[in-house]
């Protein structure tokens, strides 16, 4: 294996071991679009599995039905890649544009939601088929250092909530990112090295390209593409090590974020009562003592509650967090306060505390009362 190729596999393994992303018993579902990053992920995980460092591995491709024949060709490329690497292959089609219109959501956010919903379903199937406990299942994405830097600049422009400037987590629930310390350029070199070395598993698109290119990545009216093409290059022109420097800074932020996160966990254990200890989606009651916590810890606690209710992949609005805080004033709950956040979550307060719960549960409780 070429030197660069070995470097990528070693980097993925080192990140996985250092961050506890997966182990020899884990079942891993790879989310593969056919682009250079996810194609590199598939090749790297083949090596990782061959080395006995991970359990069953399968690939998932989600066709968003947004790009006509190009989208069909993406799916076919991924199917051939899975076959070449002898990975089981899951593929599904979702009319994301139609679903976004129904949900009154933007297409990119809806696409992300549909991808992760498909991934959870495919991971369940993989774990069941391979007799691996679901707790050992992982959804593996190909996010890179470049994605992390782009996220930082995007959040700098539009604002962010608690922990936002650490950018991406290496592990978020069962979603893991073993390539987060690798750059996009390194991953492309990795795939090219494999091809030049004559690796039999390498798949070529139309006999030439080694991965699929999504033409919509060039559309600068999309926020990420705009940042990628107009902001990141200027930072690198100023300092060629800007990506490396920013990642170092984000990791320092992450260390402090972990400390604050631990304080928030302690506060939740002390000052929040789950509606159902076995079902975080049922919400909780924030006790009156919650009002006395420092505001940064309160925000983190509420963010965690909402994440537990909506799922690890769902974005939590900073406005929603502040609106939960509005149920407290003067160091106590505001009796009679009622609000609706994130579309379907009820916030209600009385002298006993602030209840955060699904709107359906709130309505059913009110009807009984």
Domain boundaries, the chain: 3-142+177-238, 245-368
- Nearby residues of 177 by Cβ (< 8 Å), 6 or more positions away: 21, 140, 141, 142, 143, 168, 169, 170, 171
What is the model's pLDDT at position 369? 65
What SS3 class is residue 133?
coil
Q: In the CATH scheme, what architecture does the domain 3-142+177-238 have?
A: 3-Layer(aba) Sandwich (3.40)
Answering whether pTM is above 0.95, one says no
Structure tokens at 185: 């350029």
How does DSSP classify residue 316? P
What is the model's pLDDT at position 225? 86
- Nearby residues of 253 by Cβ (< 8 Å), 6 or more positions away: 165, 166
Q: In the CATH scheme, what architecture does the domain 245-368 have?
A: 2-Layer Sandwich (3.30)
For each successive 10 residues of the chain (369 residues), what is the average pLDDT?
A: 70 95 97 95 96 97 87 93 97 86 79 90 97 96 95 89 84 94 93 91 86 65 85 94 92 92 96 92 96 95 93 81 94 94 92 95 84
Alpha helices in the chain (DSSP H): 3-19, 36-50, 68-85, 96-103, 107-130, 145-158, 184-196, 223-226, 232-238, 242-271, 295-310, 318-325, 359-368
Distances in whole angstroms, Cα of residue 110 to Cα of each of 34, 63, 100, 101, 277:
20, 13, 6, 9, 30
What is the model's pLDDT at position 214? 65
């Amino acid at each position: 294996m070429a030197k660069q190729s070995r470097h990528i596999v070693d980097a993925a393994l080192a990140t996985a071991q250092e961050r506890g992303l997966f182990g020899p018993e884990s079942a891993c579902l790879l989310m593969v679009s056919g682009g250079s990053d996810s194609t590199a992920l598939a090749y790297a995980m083949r090596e990782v599995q061959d080395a006995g460092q991970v359990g069953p591995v399968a690939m998932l491709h989600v066709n968003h039905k947004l790009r006509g024949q190009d989208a069909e060709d993406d799916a076919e490329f991924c199917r051939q890649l899975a076959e070449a690497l002898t990975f089981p292959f899951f593929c599904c089609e979702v009319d994301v544009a139609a679903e976004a219109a129904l949900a009154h959501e933007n297409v990119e956010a809806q696409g992300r939601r549909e991808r992760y919903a498909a991934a959870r379903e495919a991971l369940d199937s993989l774990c069941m088929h391979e007799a691996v406990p679901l707790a050992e299942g992982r959804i593996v994405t190909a996010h890179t250092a470049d994605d992390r830097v782009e996220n930082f600049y995007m959040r700098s422009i539009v604002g962010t909530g608690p922990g936002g400037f650490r950018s991406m987590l290496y592990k978020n629930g069962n979603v893991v990112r073993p390539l987060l310390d690798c750059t996009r350029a390194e991953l492309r070199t990795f795939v090219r090295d494999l091809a030049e070395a004559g690796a039999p598993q390498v798949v070529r698109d139309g006999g030439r390209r080694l991965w699929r290119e999504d033409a919509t990545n060039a559309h600068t009216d999309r926020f990420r593409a705009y940042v990628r093409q107009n902001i990141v290059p200027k930072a690198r022109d100023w300092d060629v090590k800007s990506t490396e420097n920013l990642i170092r800074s984000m990791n320092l932020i992450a260390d402090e974020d972990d400390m604050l996160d631990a304080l928030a966990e302690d506060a939740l254990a002390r000052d929040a009562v789950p509606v159902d200890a076995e079902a975080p989606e049922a919400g909780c009651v924030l006790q009156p003592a919650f009002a006395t916590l420092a505001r940064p810890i309160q925000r983190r606690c509420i963010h965690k509650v909402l994440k537990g209710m909506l799922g690890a992949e769902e974005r939590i609005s900073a406005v929603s967090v502040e609106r939960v805080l509005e149920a407290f004033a003067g160091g106590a709950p505001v009796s009679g306060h009622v609000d609706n956040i994130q579309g379907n979550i009820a916030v209600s307060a009385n002298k006993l505390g602030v209840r955060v719960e699904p709107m359906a549960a709130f309505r059913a409780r009110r009807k009984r009362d």
